Amino acid sequence: MRNGSVQHRAFFKVLVANRGEIALRVMRSARRLGLGVVAVYSDADRDALHVRQADQAVRIGEALPAQSYLNIPAIIDAAKASGADAVHPGYGFLAENEEFAKACKDAGLVFIGPSPQAILAMGNKAGAKEIMRKAGVPIVPGYQGADQGAEVMLAEAKKIGFPVMIKAVAGGGGRGMRLVNDAASFPDALRSARSEAKAAFGDGSVILERAIQNPRHIEIQVFGDINGNAIHLGERDCSVQRRHQKLIEEAPSPAVTSELRARMGEVAVAAVKALHYEGAGTLEFLLDEHGEFYFMEMNTRLQVEHPVTEAITGLDLVELQLRVARGEPLPVKQQDITFSGHAIEVRLCSEDATHDFMPQSGRMARWQVPNDIRVEHALLSGSEIPPFYDSMIAKVISHGATREEARGRLIVGLEQLVAFGVTTNQAFLMSCLRHSGFARGEATTAFIGAHRDELLAPRKDGASDTALAGLLLYVTNPNAPSWRSGRSLAATFPLPVQIEIDGKAHELEVTRERDGSYVVAIGEQTHTFEIGQLDPDTIRFRHDGVMDTAKFYRDGDRLYVQHRGLPLAATDLTLAPPKAAAANGGDGKVRAAMNGRVVAVLVKPGDRVTAGQPVMTLEAMKMEHVHKAGIDGVIAAIDVAEGEQVTTGRIVVEIGAG
């Protein structure tokens, strides 16, 4: 297949058809090459950082992706309006859409990526597997047939043998993917996968694959140019995942030997040459425990995790994309590529790991990143995180001479990063990095599932952190006397403080002693603190003979604390009225668990339901979340409609006794 439709010519201004940290990353390399940069934005991103930092920015529509960042005509019009002569699709949304690549070419714009033919060939998982099979690339056994009937799919799944993996034909990023362990679960999993794939990609078609147990997820970074040159830049290990979405990536892989790297790289380069492929691409493989690898898919774009490859090769992969798009030959040959040290990346996501990784949106009240580690982000203190897009809000990348050095640097970097206002997976990421299995390089795709309880275990110093939160609420109360160091002649008596952390109320008593120290009592336990310094965002104190520091931010009755790298949010309930009984659906009202869009109403008024029965599906941050009945009863009311956007806590379904 010859990609004659790739359009090469000099260009001077690049429109980035994406948002957030992706747009900023592309802009950085484009500017270094002397190019102008144009941003596009939805209504939800009007004041976003990528908009502020671009030379020009063009509004392309409403908040939902389909009306904005996936709106091909609007993006083409934006390029024309701004005078851009090239378009970089980023590494999401339209990066693997052949219609978008073709629309750019038809509009006289250089598309910074492969040809529409290559995108189409590799974007369809079933077709891509057949192309790779003919090129001699080993593939996972499965079903890629055109007949998508439910009965046919079930029969094919039985032929393959359970467990099987359902995958969206046009998908990626874990959307439209389900692991099915038995025939009884297959119909519901198939329906859910198709629904999610249709919502995410506009195509509900799926394929089936044999589920390889406990594999490594290994991908090979490749590049091709106009002259038919092709290279690989080694592998990345992306095995640590949840819901089939990557959380931690590293290069090189602890499981790949130099011999295996050469073999996988040779296969990947052969495939690129067979495709006459131009630009950046990634071949993704499953590596089993016997060292055999199987092709899964090819992503015809730059990957989110490309910084770890940049760290160990010293190459700027966005720059390579831009140069290849101008028709330049690759500036390096395979023999020129060397690998230095080890790099690890984590994806910081706005989600609550302790509540099934539920997506979170809202205002990031305080955002601070460390200076001595690479952080790709597009946030400022006060930035709004909307519910319409992916939950990843930043990437933190470390590089060291050894894997252990890189791991240590990354842990320290995460400890220093401050994200107050929206719940993130920061603590969960540190727990993963500190786990002995990860430290030994043993993590497979089963890592999180196998160690979930350990990774989500309550913090060991939870009682002292609760006491610290209570102390901070006390000393930062605007109606309380200002904190002063030194001794006091005033009489000492305890003052009650009631706080809530993770939905649990704590009764505390805080006493200012005459020697200047504070005693915080929680039941029978007491904690003594000596405050050495209290700044607007930092407290320095002694506790149990240790001088320590914590970052904090107070927003009314809400307090955010970060102590030893672990974030905590507390609410002051001291003067609050008694709360109504917790509503987990036990009152018959089903409430939205997050900001999201109603994609399916699964019941109707008058239906009889049982506790645990699915009643509604919401989509938030490109993932579907099923909401279930909390009690047995009869549907009394449906309070929302399909397609409606709802906020956290809103009543969506009412169930009456019956």
Catalytic residue IDs? 301
Other beta carbons less than 10 A from residue 157's beta carbon? 24
Q: What is the DSSP string of 436-503?
A: HHHHTT---TTHHHHHHHHHTPPPTTHHHHHHHHHHHHHHT-TTSPPP--S---SPP--EEEEEEETT
Map residue 555 onto helix, strand or coil. Answer: strand
Beta-carbon contacts of residue 122 (< 8 Å; ≥ 6 apart):
96, 128, 131, 275, 281, 297, 298, 299, 300
Distance, in Å, from the CA atom of 654 to the CA atom of 502, rounded to the nearest integer, reads 26
Cβ proximity of 358 and 593 under 8 Å = yes
Cβ proximity of 119 and 278 under 8 Å = no
The owner of tokens 């077709």 is 127
Name which of 125, 238, 244, 128 is nearest 180 in CA terms: 244
What would you report as the CA-atom Rg of the chain, rounded to the nearest whole angstrom? 27
Distance, in Å, from the CA atom of 218 to the CA atom of 615, rounded to the nearest integer, reads 38
Name which of 602, 582, 605 is nearest 654 in CA terms: 605
Strand partners, 349: 392
Residue 110, CB-side half-sphere exposure with 13 Å CA sphere? 21
Return the amino acid letter for 454.
Answer: E
The owner of tokens 């994806």 is 347
The answer to whether the Cα torsion of 247, 223, 13, 312 is positive or negative is positive
Encoded tokens for 475: 């000393």
Cβ proximity of 399 and 311 under 8 Å = yes
Return the amino acid letter for 611.
Answer: A
Name which of 330, 312, 137 is nearest 222 in CA terms: 330
The continuous run of DSSP H or E covering 186 comes out as helix 186-201
Name which of 658, 608, 633, 600 is nearest 198 in CA terms: 600
Map residue 206 onto helix, strand or coil. Answer: strand
Distance, in Å, from the CA atom of 395 to the CA atom of 304, rounded to the nearest integer, reads 9
Q: What is the DSSP string of 225-251?
A: -TTS-EEEEEEEEEEEEETTEEEEEEE
Cβ proximity of 44 and 60 under 8 Å = no
Distance, in Å, from the CA atom of 551 to the CA atom of 535, rounded to the nearest integer, reads 9
Q: How far is CA 232 from the centre of its chain?
A: 26
Return the amino acid letter for 287.
Answer: L
Map residue 221 onto helix, strand or coil. Answer: strand
The owner of tokens 């490594």 is 216
Q: What is the DSSP string of 611-651?
A: TT-EEEEEEETTEEEEEE-SSSEEEEEE---TT-EE-TT-E
Cβ proximity of 223 and 280 under 8 Å = yes
- Main-chain dihedrals φ then ψ at residue 150, nearest 5 degrees: -60, -40
